[in-house]
Amino acid sequence: MQRLRRLFAGDFIDTTSHRDKFVALVGGVAGLYLSLEVAASVVEGGALAGLVLASLGATAVLLFAVPHGALSQPWNVLGGHAVSALVGVAVHDLVPHPLLAAALAVGLAIWAMHYLRCIHPPGGATALFAVVGGTQVEALGYGYVLHPVLSSVAVMTLVAVIVNFPFHWRRYPASLSRPEPPGDHAAVNSALERGGLSFEDLEFAMRELNLYLDMTEDDMARLYLLARRHHEEADQVGADDIRIGECYSNGPVGPGWLVRKVIGLSDDDRVIYREICGPPTAETGGATSREDFARWAHHRVDPARLGNGE
């Protein structure tokens, strides 16, 4: 069953709270209803139903369920729909075969969104609808781009800003949820470098895996730094945790980095240690109180990893 679940659902993690899910519900209803009112002023009946299926419902899911996703940001939403609508209308005018035109419209929209860095999956449906939307959409011509596409999507985007704003952790656009001062990107990069990584390393890893992650590079860096901090804090050493034969380090690899192995505990409860890694010093061992050793020790170290140069 676990293998079957992994096959169909993957191993993606959902950490959203019940409150977040309820906000998504309210935002989805409000945003979609208002955008449909705008769209209904241009297209009616079956055409309106087609427009719902084509793009607005899917955009609502992205804006209110994953407001911090890269594919949900304003440029992706507005730019993705706009370029897809333009491509769809142009292909409809140039390619007489309807099925071929539909396929070309979606494919070219994907291609254009990639290069314009505004990938938004519902944009594919917007391009498709420009080709197969019927006489009402055909009569709009390039006006289809502005109204109903951009007008209805802009209304939904505004609703997303308003609905998410009271909740600081999910404010939309994503930049509003981070009140860090200018230069925060540089601060994150500096923290990454202290940890032995850089943004270029993260980008290299993504290119090697050929990934398009639905998160910004700052988000990736913060994810790495928070995970590392949690790991190190969970492994912090207390005075009562010190054991003979275990190795401890005073922090990440860098200037002043040391690894000490506890080789004994004296009768007066002092820790006797030997330095086994770090810059060469005249002193390769010593003894200190448990409290002082625990204050020095940042985390435990697996001796097997030291043999791999880690």
189 and 268 in a single domain? The answer is no
222 and 106 in a single domain? The answer is no
151 and 190 in a single domain? The answer is no
pLDDT at 183 over 50: no
Contact between 160 and 64 under an 8 Å Cβ cutoff? The reply is yes
Q: Which of 211, 234, 257 is the last residue of a domain?
A: 234
pLDDT at 113 over 80: yes
28 and 163 in a single domain? The answer is yes
The total number of structural domains in the chain stands at 3
132 and 268 in a single domain? The answer is no
Residue 74: domain span:
2-176
Q: How far is CA 155 from CA 30, 176, 212, 274, in A?
A: 10, 19, 28, 66
172 and 24 in a single domain? The answer is yes
The confidence band for 231, taking pLDDT boundaries of 50, 70 and 90, is: low
The reported pLDDT for the residue numbered 187 is 64
pLDDT at 179 over 60: no
Residues above pLDDT 90, as percent of the chain: 43
* Between residues 242 and 215, the one the model is more confident about: 242
98 and 13 in a single domain? The answer is yes
The confidence band for 141, taking pLDDT boundaries of 50, 70 and 90, is: very high
138 and 277 in a single domain? The answer is no
139 and 196 in a single domain? The answer is no
The confidence band for 181, taking pLDDT boundaries of 50, 70 and 90, is: very low
**Is pTM beyond 0.75 here?**
no
Average pLDDT, the chain: 82
Per-residue pLDDT, averaged over 139-155, amounts to 93
30 and 111 in a single domain? The answer is yes
68 and 12 in a single domain? The answer is yes
230 and 243 in a single domain? The answer is no
The confidence band for 32, taking pLDDT boundaries of 50, 70 and 90, is: very high
